[in-house]
A and B are shown apart, each in its own frame.
Chain A
Amino acid sequence: MAWAMTTGKTLAEKVLARHSGNGEVIAGDIVWAEPSVAMMDDPLGPKMVQSELRRLGNRIKHPERVVVISDHCAPPSTILQADLLTLTRNWAKEYRIQRFHEYEGICHQVMVEKGYVRPGDLVVGTDSHTVTGGALGSFSTGIGSTEMLGVLVTGQMWFRVPETVKVVWDGALQDGVMAKDMILQVLGDFGSAGLTYRAVEFGGQAVREMPVDQRLCLSNMTVEGGAKAGLIAPDEKTFEYLSQRISPEELESIEPLNADPDAVYSQRKQYSAAALAPMVALPGNPADACAATEVLGERIDQAYIGSCAGGRLSDLAIVARVVKGRRVAPGVRLIVCPASRTVYQQALSSGILETLYESGAIITAAGCGACGGGHSGVLGAGEVCISATNRNFKGRMGDPSSQVFLASPASVAAAAVEGKISDPRAYI
């Protein structure tokens, strides 16, 4: 009796059902699905698949679905990085990849800025923060390079349909409290593995009121809890964002999906946005989160604004509000790395970069920068950094003895001015 088995479906179940050609799938099913978009970055993309691709017939099944973006090593700081950029560029040319970008910014930001990620899409990428795209109502997830090779050759990949955790943020955030604080709170509650193999669906007033720019940060860091995807149902804000990036015909052709009202969630968690205060993650683990008040006064050497978690226009704008008319504390370096050239240009023309410059900030080229320890702000032995990025594992941004606190861009800016961890609400 089929009718008796039918229950409401989550957004993740619906997207996977659409792309696997199954009418219906349910958490726990293993399905073969066809990704709409397959994104490769510089360290884990072409270099890692090139020789095996030749071994497997040297043909990409759907080159039009492939996106290649060099971001981690652009601009290069070593000869090895420069060679990697060349290899990636040549590969994209050889396989006639139309959607190739370099020096344009972080792959996850470029993906959404160019309109490559759309509601209802199934997106895979060779970087774990591919989950960022879930903020536009897609099912986006990171895969390994070999898995990507399989997608290139066959156009398909197997998925285990994940259970979904529903996270609702009621009410409105206080000024100076950001998406980053929300996700650190969630990670602190669920732990570094509490979301393993799950999808997260965010909802509630605070999420609805948030610009897409900030929503991306929520989805981005779900992977720090082990999640496979972090989704936000598409709404007017999503379509408004897309309308500035794709043609009206393309916009018209989108068939968005949404969760059913009676969808089955493995867990639900409800928060009050108004009660949230600035958060930090203590060095070593992004999920080791606590209220910033617990570490107020910790001295810092570096304050870092950037990455696919915290380098967007709304992030830079709040940093400018905090530092306007003030100076970065002596002995501290404030490094600002815009997430993309578009963000850079918007921050430039709106006067944000000038405000940052006048405060003493160092503005670097758009890209991954020092987030993964690549360049432009790497930490030395024993140095302490407060960072708007998403990971603070031992040694990630430099020497294994360096320490990284994760916090919102507003908190990072306040710390830069004070020379120690501070409450940004006093500066807004």
Chain B
Amino acid sequence: MEFHLSGRAWKFGDDIDSGQMAIGQYTRQGVEVYSAHCLENLRPEFPREVAPGDIIVAGRNFGSGSSRETAVLALRHLGVGAVVAVFFSRLFFRNAINLGLPVIECAEAIHIDDGDQLELHPVEGRIVDRTSNAAYQGLVLPSHLLEIIEAGGLVPFLEQRI
């Protein structure tokens, strides 16, 4: 069941709310539109330059505020491979798992620099920073949540079971 990801780190601060990933005025215009504005109020180049497999690294309380899953969908649409944060808001955390986006909670995430090349092992909660040659241990998810992520989200997970 081992799977791993690698990509460049995009560093963000604390309290990034879900309304920055899916901006209210654009969410009703479809994923193409709102993902093209994802996080632009904080880093205007992000939606243009993020590459498939890249990893978001953030501080405390990532994904606060609204319950909108469009925040996760925008990241997935842009190809973001995973999010590492000091900790997540409750709703973002659940939504990410339900939509198959790996999330790792790691207090040491703040030591990772923007642009670093990362390797992630979600099952063990391990993060390797290839640029600084450091390794960090994040929280390991309970197995039933890992199963949902590995199935690709709650829908495929339920589909396998009905």
Partners in one complex: yes
Where the two chains meet, the residues of A that have a C-beta atom closer than 8 Å to any C-beta of B are 30, 43-44, 48, 52, 55-57, 73, 78, 80-81, 84, 126-128, 142-147, 149-150, 153-154, 158, 192-193, 196-197, 226, 228, 285, 372-374, 391, 393-396, 400
Q: How far is the CB of B158 from chain A (nearest CB, A)?
A: 6
Instruction: Name A285's contact: one of B15, B20, B27, B142 (CB within 8 Å).
Output: B15
Whether the pair B24, A374 counts as a contact (CB closer than 8 A) is yes
Q: How far is the CB of B6 from chain A (nearest CB, A)?
A: 26
User: In the complex where A56-B155, A56-B162 touch, is A146 in contact with B15 (Cβ < 8 A)?
Assistant: no
Whether the pair B91, A396 counts as a contact (CB closer than 8 A) is no
The residue among B20, B24, B87 with the most chain A CB atoms within 10 A of its own CB is B24
Total A-B residue pairs with C-beta atoms closer than 8 Å?
A: 105
Whether the pair B28, A43 counts as a contact (CB closer than 8 A) is yes
Q: How far is the CB of B71 from chain A (nearest CB, A)?
A: 9
Which chain B residues lie closer than 8 Å to A128 at the CB level? 65-67, 91
Instruction: Name A153's contact: one of B67, B69, B72, B158 (CB within 8 Å).
Output: B158
Let me know if B41 is at the binding interface, CB within 8 A.
Answer: yes
Whether the pair B67, A146 counts as a contact (CB closer than 8 A) is no
Closest residue of chain B to A401 (Cβ to Cβ) is: B41
Let me know if B61 is at the binding interface, CB within 8 A.
Answer: yes
Q: How far is the CB of A75 from chain B (nearest CB, A)?
A: 15
User: In the complex where A228-B90, A395-B23 touch, is A44 in contact with B68 (Cβ < 8 A)?
Assistant: yes
When each residue 66-79 of chain B gets 1 if its CB lies under 8 Å from chain A and 0 otherwise, what string results?
11110010000000
Count, chain B residues at interface, CB 8 A: 37
Q: Which 4 pairs across A and B sit closest by C-beta, in order of nearness?
A: A193-B61, A144-B95, A146-B98, A128-B67
Bound together, the chains give a CA A57 to CA B155 distance in angstroms of 11
Closest residue of chain A to B98 (Cβ to Cβ) is: A146
User: In the complex where A197-B90, A400-B41 touch, is A146 in contact with B99 (Cβ < 8 A)?
Assistant: yes
Whether the pair A147, B61 counts as a contact (CB closer than 8 A) is no
Whether the pair B144, A147 counts as a contact (CB closer than 8 A) is no
User: In the complex where A192-B61, A196-B61 touch, is A44 in contact with B159 (Cβ < 8 A)?
Assistant: no
Instruction: List 16 interface pairs A-B (beta carbons < 8 Å), by A numbering.
Output: A43-B27, A44-B67, A55-B155, A57-B162, A81-B28, A127-B66, A128-B65, A144-B94, A146-B99, A147-B94, A192-B64, A391-B66, A393-B19, A393-B65, A395-B23, A400-B41
